[in-house]
Chain A
Amino acid sequence: MPLWFARGIRRGIVTTHYPARPERSAAGLPTPPAFRAASIDAALADRLTAVCPSQALHRDGAALIFDVGRCTACGRCQEAAPWAVTPSGEFELAATSRAHLVKQIRLAAGEDR
Chain B
Amino acid sequence: MSAGPGGREPDPAAVSGAAAPPAPGGDQQETAVRLRQRIQRQFGRSLHIRTLDTGSCAVCEQEIRLLAAPHYDLHRLGFFFTPAPRHADLLMVTGPMIRAFDVAVRKTYQAMPGPKLVVATGACALGGIYRADAFVHGSADAVLPVDVWIPGCPPSPLALLQGLLVAVDRLSEKVAGLGFTAGPPGVPAAGHAAPAEGTSR
Contact = CB atoms under 8 A, between A and B. Distances in A.
Interface of A: 4, 14-16, 18-23, 26, 29, 32-38, 54-56, 66-74, 83, 85-86, 88-103, 105
Given A33-B180, A68-B175, A94-B174, 8 more contacts: A34-B192, A35-B181, A92-B159, A93-B162, A94-B167, A96-B148, A98-B146, A100-B175
Given A69-B151, A101-B149, A19 B171 contact: yes
B150 interface: yes
Nearest to A15: B73
B52 interface: no
A98 B147 CA distance: 9
B158 interface: yes
Contact of A98 (B149, B152, B197): B149
Contacts of B171: 19, 92
Given A14-B71, A15-B76, A99-B2, A94 B175 contact: yes
| Most chain A beta carbons < 10 A, residue from B146, B149, B197 | B149
A96 B162 CA distance: 12
Interface string B38-75: 00000000000000000000000000000000111100
Interface residues of B, number: 56
A23 B159 CA distance: 11
Given A15-B76, A92-B175, A93-B159, A68 B180 contact: yes
Interface stretch (B17-25, B83-91, B107-115, B125-133): B125-133
Contacts of A97: 1, 149, 176
Given A72-B153, A101-B175, A35 B182 contact: yes
Contacts of A68: 151, 175, 180
Interface in B161-201: 161-163, 165-167, 170-171, 173-176, 178-185, 189, 192-193, 195-200
Contacts of B152: 72-73, 91, 93
A86 B77 CA distance: 33
A54 B128 contact: yes
B126 A98 contact: yes
A71 B123 CA distance: 7
Contacts of B181: 34-37, 105
Contacts of A33: 180
Contacts of B163: 94
Interface of B: 1-2, 70-73, 76-77, 123, 126-129, 131, 141, 146-153, 155-156, 158-159, 161-163, 165-167, 170-171, 173-176, 178-185, 189, 192-193, 195-200
Contact of B198 (A19, A37, A96): A19
A87 B165 CA distance: 24
A21 B126 CA distance: 28
A95 B182 contact: no
A93 B166 CA distance: 10
Nearest to A5: B71
